[in-house]
Chain A
Amino acid sequence: MKIGVFVCHCGSNIAGTVDVVKVAEAAKAMPEVAFASDTMYACSEPGQEGIVRAIKEKGLDGAVVASCTPRMHGPTFMRTVARAGLNPYMFEMANIREHVSWIGKDKGANTRKAIDLVRMAVAKLAQNKPLYPKSFAINKRVMVIGGGVAGIQAALDCADGGLEVVLVEKTTSIGGKMAKLDKTFPTVDCSSCILGPKMVDVAQHPNITLYANAEVDDVFGYVGNYQVEIRRKATYVDWKNCTGCGACMEKCPSKKSPDPFNENVGKTTAINIPFPQAIPKKAAIDRASCIRFKTGKCGVCAKVCPTKCIDYEQQDVMVTEEVGAIITATGYDLMDWTVYGEYGAGRYPDVITSLQYERILSASGPTGGHIKRPSDGKEPKTVAFIQCVGSRDKSVGRPYCSGFCCMYTAKQAILTKDHIPDSQSYVFYMDIRAPGKMYDEFTRRTMEEYGAQYIRGRVSMVYPKGDKMIVRGADTLAGTQVEVEADLVVLAVGAEGAAGSAQLAEKLRISYDSYGFFMEGHPKLKPVETNTAGVYLAGCAQGPKDIPSSVAQGSAAAAKVLGLFSKDQLQSDPQVAKVDLKRCVGCMKCAMTCPFGAIKELEQRGEMKVQVIETVCQGCGLCTSTCRQGAIQLQHFTDNQILAEINVLLENQLEEA
C-alpha cells in the first residue's frame, strides 16, 4: 500500500510546540509510507488541494492527516480523499493538536509523541478497507420535547415546513417560563400577548399533535427511525370531553392547593386550569391536594361538570410515536436559592424570587397585577433587587453567568416604578451584562429615567427589622458599607438545566454537563446539533438564553430537521459489523449484547449463523468484543486494526530501548 502523510502546522497551534518537519521526516521512514510532507493549514483550500494533488500524482492508496481531532475535521478530510478518487475510509487522522501540542510545552516530548501517533495511524490505515454506505428510508415526522417558547417555535416552523410534529409537554399547558412572565425586555412587551397567539397556532395547526401532561419514558432507534414511548399522565379528567368551562374550579372546595404556575405565591383549587390562556384549556386534578383522593369523600367536581368528564379512576396511558428526528427544548429551572442562608433561605416571606415577583406584577397573577408583598399585602415603597443569586458564584457550584438576570432585573425595576410611581428601587449588582440589541440602552434608562439606584457590590446579609427587611451590603465603587431598608427583596436567581434533564439526556444518548444543560455538537459550529444524529437542541436546555435567542435556536433546530428530511433516503455509516460466516458458530452472544437489535439469525445449509442488518447497526462494536470466535468484526475498528496500533507502538519502544 502507498500511504501519504500530511502533517499540519495549524499556523502556530501545532508548529509552536511540535517540530512538524521532523514528524514528516520520520513518517517517510515508516513502512508503506510513499509520501510525507508538512502543510500550513491542511483544512484550508490550498491544504486540501495539496492532499488531492499528492494522492493523484503519487498514486497513493490512502492518506493520514496529522492535525486536529477527527471529531472536528474527520469528515472534511474524508471528503477530500474522496475528491481525489479514493474511498473515504482509506483515511486516518492523528490528533496532534488537542492531544499533543495544546497540552504539553516540551517540544522534544511533543514531537516524539506526534511521531508515535502518526505511526499508529499509518499502521491502522495499512489495514483499512474501502467501505460503502447503504441507504435506508426515513420517517419524516419530528418530535419536540418541551412546549416553552423554543419548543413552540421549533414545532411551528417544522409544521409550517410540512412535517408532522408531535409536541410533548410535561405540564398541563404549553407556554413554559415565558407564559409566566408579565412583560419582556427590552421592549416591555406584554409576554402573553406575543406568546398567546403562537400557543393558539400550535393548538390549531393541522400538522401538530400535542401531548400535554406527558413525559418521554423511553427512546429507541436511530436517526430517521426513532420510537419514543410517551407516558400520558393521568389528569383524572377526560380531556376529549372537557370544554375548559371552569365550573369545576369554581365549586372545588379545596381552594388552598399550591399553584405552581403562580410560583406558589398564590393558591389554586385542587382541580384547575393553570391559567386563562392555557393550551390545551383543560382541567386537571392535583392528586396531592384533592379531598376525594385524600379522604375518599367529596366528588363535587364530578357533580358540577356539565360534560361528565371527571374520572377518578383514570390511569397513565402509554403511547408510542415513531419519528425520524427529535428536538429537545426542555428549558431551565431557577437554581435553588435557599442555599443562600444569608438572604433568608426561604424564611422571610418578603424575600422572593424574580419569577415570583413576575407573577405578582402580572395582571393575570394572584394579586391581579397590584404589587402586594406576601407577608401583609402592603404595597412596597422600597424594593431591593439582589443580582447574581446562583450565577457567577463558585461557592454554590454555579460559576457561570446566566445572562438574562441583569436584564429582567432592569425590567422589573421599571415595572415597579410604573406600578408605584413613588417607589424606589435599589439594585445590588456585580457587573451589568447587557450585550443584546437595545439592551444596554434599556439598563441605562432604568437608571436615568426610572431612577433605580444601582449599587455595585455583593449583599452580605438580609434580615428583618420591624416590618422592613434590612439589606446590608458593600458599595465597592464608593468603598463603603451600605444598608437599605426595603419593604420587599427580590432575588435575581440564575438558571440551571430543568429538573430531569439528565435522565432525558441518558434516554436520548446525548451528553449533559454538571448543571443539567445538554451539550451541543460543537460549541461554535454545531450549536443545535448533538453527538447523536437526529437529536437537536433548542432554547435553555442547551444553556441559559433570553427569549430572542431561544426563538432563534428553535427555528435553527427546525431548519436542521427540515434539512435532514429533505432527502427521502439517508445513507448509513458503513462502519458496521460484518460476519465471517465460516467462523460463526451461531451462539447468538452478539445478538444478545446488541443494543439495537441489529443482528438476526440466519440459517445457512442447516446451520445457525447470524447476519447484521447494516442500516440498523450503529457501529459500537459490542458484538465484536463479545464474539469468542472473532467471527463478527466491526469494520474500520477490527481487532487487527487496533492490534496493529498497539503493536507498532510497542515495537517502536523495543527499538528505542
Chain B
Amino acid sequence: MDKELRIVGFLCNWCSYGGADTAGVGRFIQPTDLRIIRLPCSGRIDPLFVLKTLIGGADGVLVSGCHPRDCHYSEGNYYARRRLEVLKRFLPVIGIDQGRFEYTWVSASEGQRWQHVVTTFTNQIHALGPIQRIGKDAQARACAFGRTLEVDIPA
C-alpha cells in the first residue's frame, strides 16, 4: 500500500474496542493507518469530535459501536446512529466527501468482521487519497478553532 494516511477511529469500549482486541488476539493482519480512541459508548461521541478531526486534517474517521439492540448501556447506540447519520448527510455541505466517514457496528466476538471493516475503510480512504490540504496556516487556525470547542471541566 502507498504512504500511510491519517485515519482516526472512535470505538465504544464494550463491543467494537473488544472486537478490535479479538482481532488482535486472533492475529488478523490489518492496515496500520488507523489510530483508535476509546470511549465508553458510541453514544458518547459528539458529532463535533468527528468534524473537528476531519477539519483538523484527518483523511478519514471511522466510528464503531455495539450492534443496535445490543448496547451495554441499553440504548446509547441508538442516539449514536441518529446523530451520526445526520452528520454523514451534512458532510457534503461543508465540502467533505461522505466516504471519509463511516459508522459501523462490530461486537466483541467479531474479530474477523473488525479486520474486514478496517481493511475496507482504509482501502476506501486510500482510494479517495489524502484530504485536501488547506495550508499550514489555515490548518493551524482549524486546530485553534478546535480548541475553542473545549470547555472548562467543572472543578
A interface residues (Cβ-Cβ under 8 A, vs B): 69-72, 95, 97-100, 102-106, 109-110, 112-113, 116-117, 120, 127, 129, 505-506, 509, 511-514, 519, 531-532, 575, 578-581, 583, 593, 595-596, 618-622, 624-626, 630, 633-634, 637-640, 642-643, 645-647, 649-651, 653-654, 657
Checking B31, B83, B108 against A511 with a beta-carbon cut-off of 8 angstroms, the contacting residue is: B108
B128 within 8 A of A: no
Given A103-B30, A646-B37, A650-B143, 12 further pairs, Cβ under 8 A: A71-B13, A113-B35, A511-B109, A531-B14, A531-B18, A620-B41, A621-B43, A622-B79, A625-B43, A625-B45, A634-B40, A653-B6
B102 within 8 A of A: no
Verify A595–B74 contact, CB threshold 8 A: yes
Write out the residue numbers on chain B whose beta carbons fall within 8 Å of the beta carbon of A117.
35-36
User: When A and B form their complex, which 6 residue pairs have the shortest distance between CB atoms, in order from nearest?
Assistant: A98-B24, A621-B44, A580-B154, A630-B151, A620-B73, A650-B56
A620 to B150, CA, bound (A): 20
**With known contacts A102-B25, A593-B79, A638-B153, A622–B32 Cβ distance under 8 A:** no
Checking A98, A596, A625, A653 against B20 with a beta-carbon cut-off of 8 angstroms, the contacting residue is: A98
Write out the residue numbers on chain A whose beta carbons fall within 8 Å of the beta carbon of B125.
none
Number of A-B contacts (CB under 8 A): 184
Verify A646–B36 contact, CB threshold 8 A: no
Question: Chain B nearest CB: distance from A396 CB in Å?
Answer: 18
Question: Chain B nearest CB: distance from A575 CB in Å?
Answer: 7
**With known contacts A637-B40, A650-B56, A643–B45 Cβ distance under 8 A:** no
Checking B36, B44, B79, B154 against A637 with a beta-carbon cut-off of 8 angstroms, the contacting residue is: B44
Verify A69–B24 contact, CB threshold 8 A: yes
> How many residues in B have their beta carbons less than 8 Å from beta carbons of A?
63
A511 to B17, CA, bound (A): 13
Checking B17, B58, B71, B136 against A509 with a beta-carbon cut-off of 8 angstroms, the contacting residue is: B71
Verify B37–A620 contact, CB threshold 8 A: no
B interface residues (Cβ-Cβ under 8 A, vs A): 4, 6, 8, 13-15, 17-18, 20-21, 23-25, 27-32, 35-41, 43-46, 49, 52-53, 56-58, 69-76, 79, 83, 107-109, 115, 133, 136, 139-140, 143, 146-147, 149-154
Write out the residue numbers on chain A whose beta carbons fall within 8 Å of the beta carbon of B49.
642-643, 646
A645 to B8, CA, bound (A): 10
A561 to B27, CA, bound (A): 34
Question: Chain B nearest CB: distance from A599 CB in Å?
Answer: 14
Which of the listed residues A97, A99, A532, A634 has the most CB atoms from chain B within 10 Å of its own CB?
A99
Verify B15–A654 contact, CB threshold 8 A: no
**With known contacts A120-B35, A511-B109, A639–B76 Cβ distance under 8 A:** no
Write out the residue numbers on chain A whose beta carbons fall within 8 Å of the beta carbon of B57.
650, 653-654
Checking A95, A650, A653 against B36 with a beta-carbon cut-off of 8 angstroms, the contacting residue is: A95
Question: Chain A nearest CB: distance from B39 CB in Å?
Answer: 6
Write out the residue numbers on chain A whose beta carbons fall within 8 Å of the beta carbon of B76.
595, 620, 622
Question: Chain B nearest CB: distance from A433 CB in Å?
Answer: 22
Question: Chain A nearest CB: distance from B52 CB in Å?
Answer: 6
Chain A residue with Cβ nearest B109: A513
Verify B35–A71 contact, CB threshold 8 A: no
Chain A residue with Cβ nearest B28: A103
A327 to B74, CA, bound (A): 19
Checking A71, A102, A630, A637 against B39 with a beta-carbon cut-off of 8 angstroms, the contacting residue is: A637
A633 to B40, CA, bound (A): 13
A99 to B152, CA, bound (A): 32
**With known contacts A104-B30, A511-B70, A531-B72, A633–B44 Cβ distance under 8 A:** no
Write out the residue numbers on chain A whose beta carbons fall within 8 Å of the beta carbon of B41.
620-622
Question: Chain A nearest CB: distance from B73 CB in Å?
Answer: 4
Checking A104, A532, A630, A647 against B143 with a beta-carbon cut-off of 8 angstroms, the contacting residue is: A647
Question: Chain B nearest CB: distance from A518 CB in Å?
Answer: 10
Question: Chain A nearest CB: distance from B145 CB in Å?
Answer: 11
A657 to B56, CA, bound (A): 13
Verify A633–B38 contact, CB threshold 8 A: no
Write out the residue numbers on chain B whose beta carbons fall within 8 Å of the beta carbon of A102.
24-25, 27
**With known contacts A625-B43, A642-B39, A642-B49, A103–B23 Cβ distance under 8 A:** yes
Checking A512, A593, A619, A647 against B146 with a beta-carbon cut-off of 8 angstroms, the contacting residue is: A647
Question: Chain B nearest CB: distance from A23 CB in Å?
Answer: 14
**With known contacts A71-B17, A102-B25, A647-B56, A618–B73 Cβ distance under 8 A:** yes
Question: Chain B nearest CB: distance from A574 CB in Å?
Answer: 13
Verify B139–A643 contact, CB threshold 8 A: no
Chain B residue with Cβ nearest A582: B154
Question: Chain A nearest CB: distance from B85 CB in Å?
Answer: 15
Can you report 9 residue pairs joining A to B where beta carbons are below 8 Å apart?
A: A69-B21, A72-B21, A103-B24, A120-B35, A514-B109, A531-B14, A580-B152, A581-B154, A625-B79
Verify B37–A579 contact, CB threshold 8 A: no
A593 to B82, CA, bound (A): 13
Verify A104–B18 contact, CB threshold 8 A: no
Write out the residue numbers on chain A whose beta carbons fall within 8 Å of the beta carbon of B115.
103
Question: Chain A nearest CB: distance from B81 CB in Å?
Answer: 13
Chain B residue with Cβ nearest A618: B73
Write out the residue numbers on chain B whose beta carbons fall within 8 Å of the beta carbon of A625.
43-46, 79, 83
A638 to B147, CA, bound (A): 14
A109 to B2, CA, bound (A): 12
A99 to B111, CA, bound (A): 12
A71 to B72, CA, bound (A): 15
Verify A633–B20 contact, CB threshold 8 A: no
